[in-house]
Structure 1
Amino acid sequence: WKNYLKSGTGQLFIRSKTKQKLFYSITLPIWPNEVKRIVLANKKNKINENDICLKFVNDQLYGMQHQLKEYEKELNIQATNCEGYSPSVHEIIMEYIEQNINSSFRRKIAHQVELIHYDYHIRALELEYFRQKPNQYQKKLMAEICQSQYEQETSEQEYEFLKKQITYYNLPSQSLTCSNIFNGPLFNSIQNIPLREELIQKCTDVAEQGRSILFNMYLKSAEDQREEYKKKHEVNIKKMDASQHTLNQNEKLSPILIQLINECCKKICERIQFIYKFKSESLFLK
């Protein structure tokens, strides 16, 4: 929520710590879509959007700060009334929380914070593009290119992630024989142990075969979609390239507009890659 506030007040990035020289502003107040969706869902008057978002985020931060103080009070009371509670016991408890709860939670929060940064860059690039006063054709072309880039990169990452999922679920530890799927009343009611084991094995074989067929179907579908979106994006890129040589001034893109589109597409790709990297890491942390 602190990063939501920084984004919405144009303080997400500290210029002195920004190594790369940017050709667009990173001090614009940009409220993340997550905030706007919540705040503006039931608001008919969106004229004071900034004030509404600012109040909402500040209220959330105040509420969490208040809740934290309440938890601290409760912890102190519990610690005082608990016989044998000492600094060493407190340290053991905190270490357990850090290892079993905080590390996973912090990882998720860090992931969300990074997405706020990516979203800020993408929106800032869009605003800089609009600041160049593009015509309707140029606006439409940028929207189409960015959308097709999003679709292409998502389908590419989804395809690669699906392959990782299949690898994971084909591990011996994920075999159906290691699960409790056949440890139910139906099979347990069979008194003849050899017969029961034979039935379980046959069911396991059929299930494994079915799972393999499904995996191949998913992979083929993902591959087809990847190729479809790749071709679609290539068509849009050709439009952009052609715009540099056209005699039609309405369709011509200036170098700065092309640079902004390319940079926006780059950030879109980086964002999607970051999401799927997190997904892949989470998969193997199960």
Structure 2
Amino acid sequence: MAEFNSNCSTTSDQDDSIDIQQLMEDIDFDNVYSMEQEINEYETDQFNIMYNTDDDDDDDDDNGTIEKSVTLKPIEEQIKSEKLNPLSTTIVNTKKPMTLKYIQDEIEKIPDYLMKRNKVFKQLIYETLTTMSISTSTNNMEDLRKIAISIYKIMVIQTYQLLWAAYLKSGMRQLIIPSKTQRAYSTMLPIWPKEIKLLLQADKHVNENETYFNFINAQLHELDDQLKQNQMKLNIKANHFQGYTLSIQNIIETYIEQHLHCLRMEIEHKIELIQYDYHIQILKLEYLRHKPNTFQKQLMKELCHSKYEQETTEQEVNLLKQQITYYTSTNQSFECLPIAHNSLIDSIQNSQIRQQLFLQYKDVAKQSRAKIFALYMKTAKEQRDEYKNKHEINLKKMWDAYNSTSDNDKISSTMLDLMHQRCMKISEYIKCIYKFKSQSFVSNSKS
């Protein structure tokens, strides 16, 4: 649900309108992009992987971080700044992978749905014991709750194991399974995820591959040890609980699984991005294997960059349409929004005047919101069209290079195919991100 601050107020009972600019300053859509907090950091960290490179065999101008990228500001930031700025062009690499310490901290934080005070969980335990003709004593209730906590820890660890296994498979070149319809990539270089590189920042003078491999392997071994310890604790608790059966465990696992859905969805999404990143990097290395000259390298770089921008702005428009449709739907009653409760209007004793002012206030607020949404959509579409045109120009450059008679400017059919494949993977990567954003938005809207 979008939230609005209640700071907006009329300056006098005689005013028949509220200053729209002030209202725009006070409106706050804190939850419009709440699901982006995790994904955006991961997405921006992966940006260089898509169309930049930090390989030693690349030219200097292709090393490091590209300074410009496309990142749409969340709508609440645009509104608070009182204007809809063009796309931000700053990349901030802040996200690091979920290390064992982070996972352990998360495990030790017992979720609310397993707390004693949780009525739904308490009722589930009571009904489970009753169904199994087991005493519903306080001790039994608490012992079964502790068993549920052990099961929860096991399920969380197993979920994170999938993520770290994907990191290892990427470095071991095991993420691509050859098929009849897939190009056989000749590169044998390991592809370590950017997250791992950011975390370790290995010394260039040491064996990077060994450093990354040992680190990930150590994380997996520690997770496995944690899993075995918790499985042992679960077995001890279950064996000491008279009447405990697999049926009881299945009931508890089903309950926990329902609440772990968001975590599983997030981890599955991260694994998908690792796989896309792997393909994108492999295609870049395959392209470099053909020893492109400076012009050919720059052509690939610009084409992939513009594809990223074009697809991102296209998907951003689609997501914005979805959000605006939700927030302007008839089932989103204005009276249910926090902005509907204005302290100054609510303090008016005369009910007739209070109602009259409220209706004026409501009308201006709704008009202002509609103007903000329309302006944001207009800006987003303009930026989408701008980057679409930019990418079409780069596509023309690609075909001109393919048809060129100059040896320096010409690209081979293999290079053309690799450019096309890499752009397709970048497009799929962005669509994957926005599919997750859309699903998260729907999920948050229902909660």
TM-score (norm. length: structure 1) = 0.87
Residues of 2 paired with 1:102 and 1:79: CA distance? 22
Question: Could you say which residue in structure 1 is the equivalent of 2:182?
Answer: 21
The question of 1:135 aligning with 2:293 is answered: yes
Check conservation: 1:145, 1:236, Cα contact below 8 A: yes
Counterpart AA for 1:128: E
Question: Could you say which residue in structure 1 is the equivalent of 2:45?
Answer: none
Question: Could you say which residue in structure 1 is the equivalent of 2:314?
Answer: 156
The question of 1:8 aligning with 2:171 is answered: yes
Residues of 2 paired with 1:119 and 1:224: CA distance? 29
Residues of 1 paired with 2:184 and 2:269: CA distance? 26
Counterpart AA for 1:58: N
Where does structure 1 lack aligned partners over 5 or more consecutive residues? none
Are the structure 2 counterparts of residues 19 and 277 from structure 1 closer, same or farther at C-alpha, using a change threshold of 3 Å? farther
Return the structure number with greater helix share: 1
Question: Secondary structure of the equivalent of 1:285?
Answer: helix
Question: Could you say which residue in structure 2 is the equivalent of 1:52?
Answer: 211
Distance apart, 1:140 and its partner CA: 0.6
Residues of 2 paired with 1:71 and 1:195: CA distance? 64
Question: Secondary structure of the equivalent of 1:244?
Answer: helix
After superposition, the CA RMSD in angstroms is: 2.6
Are the structure 2 counterparts of residues 46 and 169 from structure 1 closer, same or farther at C-alpha, using a change threshold of 3 Å? farther
TM-score (norm. length: structure 2) = 0.57
Are the structure 2 counterparts of residues 186 and 62 from structure 1 closer, same or farther at C-alpha, using a change threshold of 3 Å? farther
The question of 1:97 aligning with 2:256 is answered: yes
Check conservation: 1:126, 1:264, Cα contact below 8 A: yes
Query: Between Structure 1 and Structure 2, how many residues are aligned?
Result: 281
Question: Could you say which residue in structure 2 is the equivalent of 1:35?
Answer: 196
Question: Secondary structure of the equivalent of 2:190?
Answer: coil
Check conservation: 1:26, 1:121, Cα contact below 8 A: no
Check conservation: 2:187, 2:285, Cα contact below 8 A: no
Are the structure 2 counterparts of residues 205 and 47 from structure 1 closer, same or farther at C-alpha, using a change threshold of 3 Å? farther
Question: Secondary structure of the equivalent of 1:134?
Answer: coil
Question: Secondary structure of the equivalent of 1:106?
Answer: helix
Counterpart AA for 1:66: D
Q: More displaced, 56-65 or 115-124?
A: 56-65
Distance apart, 1:283 and its partner CA: 1.4
Check conservation: 1:169, 1:175, Cα contact below 8 A: no
Counterpart AA for 1:90: Q
Distance apart, 1:130 and its partner CA: 0.1
Of 55, 65, 74, the match for 2:224: 65
Question: Could you say which residue in structure 2 is the equivalent of 1:216?
Answer: 374
After superposition, residues 73-152 of structure 1 pair within 5 angstroms as 73-76=232-235, 87-99=246-258, 101-152=259-310
Can you list the C-alpha shifts for 1:50-93, whole angstroms capped at 9, x where unaligned?
A: 11211221222223223333444554566567788665443332
Check conservation: 1:13, 1:27, Cα contact below 8 A: no
Are the structure 2 counterparts of residues 72 and 279 from structure 1 closer, same or farther at C-alpha, using a change threshold of 3 Å? same
Once the two structures are aligned, what percentage of the paired residues are identical? 47
The question of 1:258 aligning with 2:428 is answered: no
Residues of 1 paired with 2:209 and 2:191: CA distance? 9
